[in-house]
Amino acid sequence: MPLLLFILLTLIPAVWLLAEPLRIESRRRWLRSRPFPPDWRATLRQRVPQVRLLPADLQIQLKKHIQVFVAEKTFVGCDGLEVTDDMRVTIAAQACLLLLNRRSGYFPELREILIYPSAFSVRRLTTDAAGVVHEGHAVHLGESSARGHVVLSWDDVLRGAADASDGHNVVIHEFAHQLDQENGDANGAPPLVGRQRVERWTRVFDAAYDRLRRQLQGESAPALDPYGASSPAEFFAVASEAFFERPQHLAASFPDVFDELSRYYRVNPLSW
């Protein structure tokens, strides 16, 4: 094989791979430039009232993110559920709240969203103190996997979207886990830039997590959903729900956590 041909055959795949991010961003710019469908506007008005609370510039930004998200992610109905654009847009609107004002990779590890009609059962294997493995089932409203999928209960998606002030939103919760899982298994610390920022985040969230656990042990009434005391990863997800839905409460109860999340999400829901 002539040397020049060999070099070309070697370089072409490399150039193609290097150009892939440019092709992706070009397509995303095109999607964001498209008119937002009228039917999707109706879905936002009917299903996701929180969108109306956002400043005008963030509403526009959110709609552009929704267009990319719906185009790039695969939605799969489970247990006979037929997926509609109404479902896609309702889920995308809540998930993309977490992307506002941020340099977005649109949850790069996520490939598909599985939607069940209602709460679903998950098979679990546990090992007891004697080393015996037991099989059981747990009922979930949502689940996030680092292996590329999120599972949601449609009933609970609707319930979370309908009341934007109760601090319970399964989409925000599971997609906060997706952000957390971008650097591996969920541990309550999403990817952050800079050693000082990582140290501050760790200090603030460790102290808040310990405080919530002490509250549940009887020191005082818990200031956040008790599920947040299950693990640091759940604390981050629960705090994210409160940040977007009960910002005044979070800022009063855990001001340092609110400040960290405001820096991370680059929005201030107190002003909405």
* Predicted local confidence at residue 131, as pLDDT: 60
Query: Are 204 and 155 part of one and the same domain?
Result: no
* Predicted local confidence at residue 221, as pLDDT: 79
Residue 179: inside a domain: no
Last residue of some domain: 116, 131, 163? 163
Radius of gyration of the chain (CA): 21
Give the domain range for residue 232: 187-272
Query: Are 266 and 207 part of one and the same domain?
Result: yes
Residue 122: inside a domain: yes
CATH of the domain at 251: 3.40.390.10
Residue 5: inside a domain: no
Q: How many domains does the structure of the chain reveal?
A: 2
Most confident residue range from 21-25, 143-147, 228-232: 228-232
Residue 36: inside a domain: yes
| Average pLDDT of span 22-47 | 96
Residue 193: inside a domain: yes
| Average pLDDT of span 221-226 | 90
Amino acid letter, 111: R
Residue 25: inside a domain: no
* Predicted local confidence at residue 234, as pLDDT: 98
Give the containing element (helix H, strand E) for 124.
strand 120-127
* Predicted local confidence at residue 134, as pLDDT: 44
The per-residue DSSP string of 40-103 comes to: HHHHHHHH-GGGGGS-HHHHHHHHHHHHHHHHHSEEEE-TTPPP-HHHHHHHHHHHGGGGTTS-
Cα 6 to Cα 252: distance, rounded to the nearest angstrom = 65
Residue 20: inside a domain: no
Mean pLDDT value across the chain: 90
pLDDT at 267 over 50: yes
* Per-residue pLDDT tens digits for 117-155: 999 776 655 554 556 544 555 777 899 998 899 999 999
Task: With cut-offs at 50, 70 and 90, classify the pLDDT of residue 174.
Answer: very high
CATH of the domain at 112: 1.10.472.150
Model confidence pTM above 0.85:
yes
